[in-house]
Structure 1
Amino acid sequence: MLEAAQPGSSSAQPPRSAALPPPWDQSLLINVTFLKVLLWLVLLGLFVELEFGLAYFVLSLFYWMYVGTRGPEDKKKGEKSAYSVFNPGCEAIQGTLTAEQLERELQFRPLAGR
């Protein structure tokens, strides 16, 4: 009969996060990413030889910016936008510097309620 592992025992395993893929999936991702970077470097070398290296590099940057952005359909339910005007009630996310806070800090006034 198996006994339940106690929190302080050495047989207790940390909880596995659901967001992390299995280890074999990570190695595949690393290999694919490595191959993509290698292909990009080879193509960069080819375009440098053809004297179009700068154009290839700049177009690659634009492509990476396009791929790195996500569309509105990828937004999770309840997720707030970094731009408060897109949030319900223009609610700002935590850590946003507001004009009132900046004024207070520049004039060395204490926070309201403290």
Structure 2
Amino acid sequence: MLEAAQPEDSTSQPPRNIAIPPLWSRDHSFLTNITFLKVLLWLVLLGLFVELEFGLAYFVLSLFYWMYVGTRGPEERKEGEKSAYSVFNPGCEAIQGTLTAEQLERELLLRPMEGR
């Protein structure tokens, strides 16, 4: 049988043993355990409220709570960070990538950009 000749590559090196840090550090597993316990408590309470025939109300109120907790207040904004809503920025300055009414009108009417 004919075997294909493998060219000897002098630059190739055997794979090194690279130390990979563990995926679950002590801090991460603690956070995960707390989150898991919160979800478990929510599910138990959901089951209780379903038995009391208030399951839908509990679920909807939970959604409102998660929306409230998930939003940041203006005091939590970092120094120099702009809001996505230009009316909350100094001088009503829009963030990069915002579609303005002038840009939309220019693109729909196929007008050239200003300054060109």
Give TM class, smaller chain: 0.7 to 0.9
Q: Which residue of 2 aligns with 1:60?
A: 62
- Which has the larger displacement, 92-101 or 25-34? 25-34
State the identity %: 84
Q: Which structure 1 residue ranges, 4+ long, deviate > 3 Å from structure 2? A: none
Separation of aligned partners in 2, 1:40 and 1:104:
51
**Could you tell me which amino acid in structure 2 is paired with residue 78 of structure 1?**
G
Q: What are the within-5 Å matches in structure 2 for residues 1-114 of structure 1?
A: 23-114=25-116
Separation of aligned partners in 2, 1:26 and 1:108:
53
Task: Report how many aligned residue pairs link the two structures.
Answer: 97
Query: Structure 1, unaligned stretches of length 5 or more?
Result: 1-9, 11-21
**Could you tell me which amino acid in structure 2 is paired with residue 54 of structure 1?**
L
Relative to the length of structure 1, the TM-score reads 0.75
Shift of 1:28: 1.2
Separation of aligned partners in 1, 2:103 and 2:50:
50
Separation of aligned partners in 1, 2:47 and 2:112:
58
Relative to the length of structure 2, the TM-score reads 0.74
CA radius of gyration, larger in: 2
SS state at 1:110 partner? coil
Separation of aligned partners in 1, 2:112 and 2:26:
54
